[in-house]
């Protein structure tokens, strides 16, 4: 069997990973083999390496890596809509052969996207996990279930942007993203803006104010000038500025530090949802509270939500292409123009 180079973990407990050889598998039904051109690092890669999260002795030697982009070099049976040579980006899955820190990766053909013409393959490699963590938390249907790893099995259940009626669905409703300049935060801003939320508030440093506004924020609150302890008062001031008081219909806390969750939760309207990038310290897990509010922490794996994620992945090429080139249609004119603000 042919082999390829891979970054391998051979022991648990933070042992140094080293480049070694891995058997190169052939794709099964519905799968493709991708030759990786670019991969991206995520904090979770360090957690898995150092603490052995998601790993067992039986899985060793193991490969890491969640974000990847490359070229399709082999098609499995029953794969349609893809050709050899297609440039794609994708999120790695749980098996070593599906991880990205190696030359070749097995990928579910339903859960990858073509690299749009206005993005480099290196840019595309940075998208999958951050985008999935934001979008799955916002749009996956609610479930009254907590996974064994402590994450929620469902999401907030908003109407997905990429489905009919998704664009501008929540026009006029207010939302808050804490940590809007982070990877997950800026995707949450773009998704919520395209879904119609306005006013759309976020916290970030003054340095990142324009970055967040390009991603769709209408108001940027400098967390250095407005600590989280006094954030609720500042948010209420903004939301009460008009002739009509607007409740916060949705919150995404991508920061989860220094009391941000407690501050955000105190602002959450009855019947609304709040998503946290880490397992939450507020609210009731796995169900709505007495006011109908839901606090949840999503598992950002597209493979765990395949039926939901497949149409999302199929839409990404067009979404990112429109974000940098077609900013004229309807309310999307402002939102699409900021989609993936790194594009040019």
Instruction: Specify whether the backbone of 30 is left (phi greater than 0), alpha (psi in -120 to 50) or beta.
Output: left
Identify the burial level of 53 via C-beta atoms within 10 angstroms of its C-beta, where 0-12 means exposed, 13-18 middle and 19 or more buried: exposed
Predicted pLDDT of residue 327: 29
User: Does the predicted model carry a pTM greater than 0.75?
Assistant: yes
Q: Provide the residue count of the chain.
A: 344
Look at the block and give the residue holding tokens 């799955």.
136
d(CA 108, CA 54): 20
- Listed residue (190, 189, 191, 225) closest to 207, CA to CA: 225
pLDDT digits (tens, 9 = 90+) for 319-335: 888 864 332 233 333 33
Give, in order, the Cα–Cα distances in Å from 7 to each of 61, 85, 247. 10, 24, 48
Average pLDDT over residues 113-138: 95
pLDDT digits (tens, 9 = 90+) for 242-278: 667 789 999 999 999 999 999 999 999 999 999 999 9
Give, in order, the Cα–Cα distances in Å from 302 to each of 82, 230, 253. 19, 36, 20
pLDDT > 70 in the chain, percent: 92
Predicted pLDDT of residue 337: 42
pLDDT digits (tens, 9 = 90+) for 149-176: 899 999 999 999 999 999 999 999 999 9
Strand order across the 31-40 sheet: 104-108, 31-40, 67-75, 87-91, 112-114
pLDDT digits (tens, 9 = 90+) for 22-31: 999 999 999 9
Average pLDDT, the chain: 90
Token pair for 324: 């940098």
- Listed residue (15, 320, 311, 292) closest to 136, CA to CA: 311
Angle, in degrees to the nearest 10, between helices 128-139 and 306-325 = 110
Which parts of the chain are beta strand (E)? 3-9, 18-23, 31-40, 62-63, 67-75, 87-91, 104-108, 112-114, 174-178, 200-204, 219-222, 248-253, 268-276, 294-296
**Is the omega angle on the peptide bond into residue 333 within 30 degrees of 0, that is, cis?**
no
Give the N- to C-terminal CA distance of the chain in Å, as an integer. 42
Predicted pLDDT of residue 243: 62
d(CA 87, CA 96): 22
Predicted pLDDT of residue 326: 33
Average pLDDT over residues 198-210: 96
DSSP code of residue 43: H
In which element (H, E) is residue 314 found? helix 306-325
Residue with more model confidence, 330 or 296 = 296
**Is the omega angle on the peptide bond into residue 31 within 30 degrees of 0, that is, cis?**
no
SS3 string, 164-228, reads CCCCCCCCCCEEEEECCCCHHHHHHHHHHHHCCCCCEEEEECHHHHHHHHHCCCCEEEECCCCCH
Predicted pLDDT of residue 344: 39
d(CA 134, CA 118): 22
Predicted pLDDT of residue 323: 67
pLDDT digits (tens, 9 = 90+) for 62-113: 888 999 999 999 999 999 999 999 999 999 998 999 999 999 999 999 999 9
Task: Give the pLDDT band (50/70/90) at residue 51.
Answer: confident
> Is the pLDDT reported for residue 129 higher than 90?
yes
Average pLDDT over residues 192-198: 96
d(CA 150, CA 313): 25
Predicted pLDDT of residue 57: 76
């Amino acid at each position: 069997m042919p082999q390829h180079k891979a970054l391998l973990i051979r022991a648990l407990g933070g042992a140094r990973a080293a480049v070694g050889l891995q058997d190169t598998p052939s794709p099964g039904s519905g799968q493709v083999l991708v030759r990786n051109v670019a991969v991206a690092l995520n904090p979770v890669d360090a957690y898995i390496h150092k603490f052995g999260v998601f790993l067992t002795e039986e899985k060793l030697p193991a490969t890491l890596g969640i974000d990847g982009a490359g070229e399709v070099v082999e098609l499995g049976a029953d794969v349609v809509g893809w050709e050899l040579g297609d440039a794609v980006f994708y999120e790695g899955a749980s098996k070593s052969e599906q991880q990205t820190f190696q030359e070749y990766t097995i990928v579910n053909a339903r859960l990858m996207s073509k690299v749009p013409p206005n993005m480099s393959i290196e840019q595309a490699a940075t998208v999958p996990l951050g985008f999935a963590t934001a979008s799955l938390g916002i749009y996956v249907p609610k479930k009254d279930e907590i996974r064994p790893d402590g994450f929620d099995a469902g999401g907030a259940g908003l109407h997905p942007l990429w489905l009919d009626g998704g664009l501008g669905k929540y026009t006029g409703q207010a939302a808050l993203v804490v940590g809007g300049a982070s990877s997950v935060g800026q995707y949450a801003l773009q998704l919520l803006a395209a879904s119609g939320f306005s006013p759309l508030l976020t916290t970030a440093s003054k340095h990142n104010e324009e970055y967040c506004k390009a991603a769709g924020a209408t108001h940027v609150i400098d967390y250095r000038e407005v600590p989280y302890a006094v954030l609720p008062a500042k948010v209420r001031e903004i939301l009460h500025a008009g002739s009509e008081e607007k409740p916060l219909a949705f919150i995404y806390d991508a920061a989860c530090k220094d009391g941000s969750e407690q501050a955000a939760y105190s602002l959450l309207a009855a019947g609304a949802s709040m998503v946290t990038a880490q397992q939450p310290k507020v609210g009731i897990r796995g169900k709505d509270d007495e006011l109908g509010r839901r606090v949840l922490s999503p598992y950002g794996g597209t493979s765990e939500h395949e039926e939901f994620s497949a149409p999302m992945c199929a839409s990404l090429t067009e979404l990112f292409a429109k974000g940098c080139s077609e900013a004229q249609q309807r309310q999307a004119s402002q939102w699409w123009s900021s989609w993936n603000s790194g594009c040019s």
